[in-house]
Amino acid sequence: MVQITLPDGQKKEFVIKTSLSAIAKSISNSLFKKAVAGKIDGVLRDLSVCVEKDCDVEIITNSDQEGLEIIRHSFAHLVGHAVKQMYPDAKMAIGPVIEDGFYYDIEFDDALSESDLKKIESKINYLIKQNYDVVRQVVSPEEAFKVFNERNEDYKIQIIEDIPKNEVIALYHHQEYTDMCRGPHVPNTKFLRFFKLTKIAGAYWRGDSKNKMLQRIYGTAWNSRDDLNAYLKRIEEAKKRDHRKLGKSLDFFHFQDHAPGMVFWHPKGWELWMVVENYLRNVYKVSNFSEVKCPQIIDKSLWEKSGHWEHYQKYMFTTSSENRDYAIKPMNCPGHVQIFLSNLRSYKELPIRFGEFGSCHRNEPSGALHGLFRLRNFTQDDGHIFCTEDQIQAEVFSFTKQLQQVYKDFGFDEILYRLSTRPSERVGSDETWSRSENALAKALDAVGVDWTELKGEGAFYGPKIEYSLKDSLGRVWQCGTIQVDFNMPERLGAEYVNEDNSRQTPVLLHRAIVGSLERFIGILIENFGGALPVWLSPVQVGVASITSAQADFATSVVNGLKENGIRVIGDLRNEKISYKIREFSLSKIPYIIVIGEQEKINNSVSVRIRGGEKISSCKLDQLVSRIEKEVENLV
């Protein structure tokens, strides 16, 4: 007999090798009907897996978040089943879960169209209605190789060849279709109901442009029709807010093939950039960071010493001159360490904080580029803190409080906090890792926030906290981070003189609040649908005259606003006033001033406020006071 412990502390005894499915049924019929998987000592397993020893058991249902992830993963296999029935010669690659859905990379003889996608969706619906069992079978790599070799599944064979010979592989049988996966998966297709195939894209096998281009079928899946429809509605709204479309229509920026993955900023877009940068520059000041600037191109020898040349070279742009090899910096930290090294430092100086708006270049694959969200040239609000171990907690606490205020000022109230802890391969002692992880955890607790632990997700050089914000559509964006680094200071010889005159290696904290300024501006554009708050709007006021007779007065209004530091443009063209107002409205300008003969006579202005409010007549200084107050309050 084996004893299992349920989440509520209840203990039950079962015959050894009792399946999770049978355990679920013994608890209650209703639980059994909703069960999609289980956990044995915290590890997700298929319902067909049996308990072998005393353990903790938790049954996962379709209404749990983990259950939804399993449903999405199972839908990826269902795509494979449908595709192989329709296209027997197609070759299956990988089909993982992603945020809100799944995809499957497949090699087809011909390119798929949108109509093909609809046909595949219809086939999936046909298979779902059969309510067939999904059967798990454990085999050796040799047996799996034989199965997929007979089916000419080249990509599955490549995956198997990378699996150690002593490991076992789980095959999942969907009627005549067989796939391979770690699992778990739903026990029956009755759990697979509410889905939509969303798009087709290209993807290189294993992300390498030297490999063959596959076709990636994306889909989404949910637990109810209402959840599915709500998601599809959000997607439609997101398309309307696409920062690439808005960036073009608002005349903020553009991209072109002469500089792939790099931005051509137009005057209005650059004005927005400077507002964001100047705000963040003030954050450096109030947080006691000293702003620095490091070279863009640095000798290869420094990148070798930092370890980037060995581990990151394929993402680095390189050049040479006078028989020396250089790399354009992909990150700012080695440069900041050089500034630290330029003087002998004392423990009394720590913590030392350097901040830079560092322009970085990374040789991202062309297929991964995506507007402002994924670039080859981007700018980080990058900060590095050189401190002692004892100072980590206080620095992380201060940083977190500062980050919360920044996100709030930009209009984001909801933040997710994730602490990534030690991976299996790492530098530094376990004692040092424990102290650092505890310092990060205590800092988050002191701030008073809920956070989740991501076990084993830390970098090899230290643990980290990731800060993600939620936008107006409920989408989550990982932006901020603070990372503990035991490795780089030691590699680059960073030292300070301790109280006993010994030389010690400082801890390096990597910190960023928004991450990439370009990406953050893209998030802002989409969050507000281009209708940026007054303090962020590159143009805060548009002034339009009804006829040329008011041109001089309109010009004086424009100049008066400029003198008060308000960003303004005037339209004195000989065009209909309705046309001018429409252009300003499409540009999402917060305030539109209309000047006619009556306004000229009364030395006043008529104002249309974005959102529909109108002020028939007011003095210019009254409007200036209102705008200044909104800017001061960051609205």
Active site residue ranges: 333, 362, 380, 382, 384, 464, 510
User: CA-to-CA distance for 413 and 416, rounded, in angstroms?
Assistant: 10
CA separation, residue 167 to residues 49, 138, 180, 555, 621 (Å): 17, 10, 13, 77, 76
CA distance 503 to 24: 60
Q: Token digits for 463? A: 């643990």
CB 465 within 8 A of CB 482: yes
The answer to whether 429 touches 486, Cβ cutoff 8 Å, is no
Quick check: 65 and 42 in contact, CB under 8 A? no
Question: 55's torsion region: left (phi>0), alpha (psi -120 to 50) or beta?
Answer: beta
Nearest-10 Cα torsion for 422, 428, 429, 433: -40
Closest residue by Cα to residue 187 from 67, 40, 65, 15: 67
Rounded-to-integer distance, Cα 419 and Cα 453, Å: 5
- The helix (run of H) or strand (run of E) holding residue 91 is strand 91-92
The alpha carbon of residue 541 and the mean position of all alpha carbons in its chain are separated, in whole angstroms, by 33
Q: In this structure, which long-range contacts are made by residues 557-565, counting pairs with CB atoms below 8 Å and at least 24 apart in sequence?
A: 557/593, 557/595, 557/605, 557/620, 560/620, 560/624, 561/620, 561/624, 564/624, 564/628
**DSSP at 370:** B
Q: Are strands 591-595 and 541-545 parallel, antiparallel or unpaired?
A: parallel
How far apart, in whole angstroms, are the C-alpha atoms of residue 403 and residue 283?
A: 9
- The H or E element containing residue 436 is helix 430-447
3-state secondary structure 612-629: CCEEEEECHHHHHHHHHH
* Residue among 280, 365, 268 nearest 314 (CA): 365
To which residue do tokens 């205590």 refer?
Answer: 442
CA pair distance 75, 479, nearest whole angstrom: 30
User: Which string of DSSP letters, residue by residue, matches 510-554?
Assistant: EEEEEEEHHHHHHHHHHHTTT---TTT-S--EEEEESSGGGHHHH
State CA 487 to chain mean position distance. 26
Q: Cα(436)–Cα(420) distance, rounded to whole angstroms?
A: 11
Cα distance between residue 350 and residue 354, in whole Å? 12
Using alpha carbons, select from 360, 329, 346 the residue that is nearest to residue 261: 360
> Number of C-alpha atoms within 13 angstroms, CB side, residue 556?
11
Give the relative orientation of helices 392-409 and 430-447 as an angle to the nearest 10 degrees. Answer: 40
- Tell which residue, 462, 465, 440, 466, has the closest CA to residue 508: 462
Longest Cα–Cα distance of the chain, Å, equals: 97
Torsion of CA 240, 244, 249, 253, to 10 degrees: 160
